[in-house]
Structure 1
Amino acid sequence: MVTPDTAADDSDRERGQLVLTAAIGIGLVIVGLVVVINTVLVSENLSTSESLESSDEVTKFSTSAQRNTRSLVLRLNHWQRNQTGPQIGRNVRHNVSNYSRALGESYAETGISVVNLSYNNDSSTWGTRIVQTNDSWITDAANDSDWTLFESNDHANARRFVFNLNTSHTSTDQFNVTFDNGTETVEIGIQRKRESIAVSSERSLGGDVQDVMCDPSGNRVLIDLMTGEAFTGDCEFNGVLNRTDPERTLEPPYTVSVADGEHGFGKFSVVTNSSLDTSSGPFGPCDPQQADDLGVSRTNPHDPCRSPIVWRANITTTYQSTSIDYWQQHNVSVYP
């Protein structure tokens, strides 16, 4: 008779239980690790998603702030004829501050971000607006029909050269505006034909001469020589910024001159990046007090004059939330 070895059996059972217990323990550890890892991954994904969403919000805020600042400064530049640099600077700072306050209130309603926008006058770039605000012949203050608005040695880049012509008094004889960068010229001829304004555009280095008819609205025709279009949208021509072939845009700096200006009648405004000296040249400052301070004659309301404009506005944008602290300076081109 064989007697069972109970001690050995007990030992085997204990080892089996230990192995089972260890296996269960390892399994629980693995399950726990999987849960922890998944939790970390989910948390990271949520965090990344929130960061990307916040980043998109910052981009939208920054883009919108720059676009609306440009529109605001553009309006203030052309708000009135008799403005000095300090006046424009104060007006821009005040209006940007009001816009920033309204913007901040709209973002505060969401409860997740704080935004701010400020205008830096000393870091902004200034230019000049040459303007004739009353109907008159397209001549200079000395009544010369052939004259120069500004020259290339002023490093001049022009934008928004707008004529507001009176079709009743503009002559059927042509007057011309020429842009010359020393290598190539764009010559734009303007005259009345019946009740409309005929515009021709010709480049010195080839290309077809383009003739278009611009119909009046209320006895007026508004055309921009830079973009080559009427504000009513009824006519288009190749201006200095060539519409049909952007590669043929006339590159600045250039001299801008008028020939036979006595044939044109109306108002005009042109802006340039040059801060031209308002104490000399073919026209003086628009602001009467500034003319007195400089000891020059006051400008006749029917003559062209000069006033400063903000060419490039320097602004600081700030965006703060729980996940982002953003601060950036921008140079906003008012006349892109």
Structure 2
Amino acid sequence: MTANTDTLVGEVLLAEPRGFCAGVDRAIEIVERALTKFGAPIYVRHEIVHNTYVVNDLKAKGAIFIEDLAEVPPGATLVFSAHGVSQAVRREAAERGFSVFDATCPLVNKVHIEVAKLAKEGYEFIMIGHKGHPEVEGTMGQLNEGIYLVEDVADVAAVRPRGTKLAVVTQTTLSVDDAAEILAEVKRCFPEVREPKQQDICYATQNRQDAVKVLAPTVDLVIVVGSPTSSNSNRLRELAQRLGTTAFMIDAASDLQQQWLDDARRDGQPLRVGLTAGASAPDILVQQVIARLKALGAGAVRKMEGVKETVHFPLPLGLGDKSMAELGGGSSSRS
């Protein structure tokens, strides 16, 4: 029997922080400023960030998303997505003479720089990440050889480096706990492995996962706003589930199913629903989900206490932002 929708949801608890991170803000603004300055179309290699709403909004403004640079006409303006690209893609773009703006997240770029630097010192690499993810393809594509992908603990035993100098790097949007487990196995198998000075998993991924760790045990159900292709959004849903709370990920408010709420309800009491959003999901989607929950009876919406993020990454020169020098080198530290 379906519960009375007037009392189905009692309270919505908002994770803090949630939604856009500095790297996503920067990437979207790069495309929007390029459209304003140079006019449509602006070509973007891969989805600028993994969110359906954002991509469709930019398409409506004149962005064209492509995977193969052969689809880009000569003399066009090209933007690299926030996930980063391989050296082969960079070379091809230069050879074809495109005007390029790089929206690679600075924290991903930090990993690329580390790989290039250590490779010159003779290091090979283990990369912890998900096969096929564009960030992983971009990072592994910094080298022609000597970088080995591991997706889980079992993969580590199959790594056969040619030399003795080995370093580890990580996809920035992984589960913090999963990455730590795999890293422990890497260190067990390769005790001399070199770790990054600061972990590669980005501050925003860490903060959103930490917020879900606080949120999930206090609610009956967790809703994660994020697109299916978003790695960090998927990790939030998995984390809530791992903590014992039923969780669903939705691309839009229309995806929210009342049956999920009916199934989560116990003893006829109104539900407390936890709500968060991946780092590529805009706040407008969160507000639409809140409106949907209010239509199901939610009378209170309360924000958790959480980390306040103040990170800002400058735009590339030529798009109207101040230079890195003027901003004191920008900021990539955890807020």
| TM-score (normalised: structure 2) | 0.23
Relative to total residues, which structure has the larger helix share, 1 or 2?
A: 2
TM-score by length of 1: 0.23
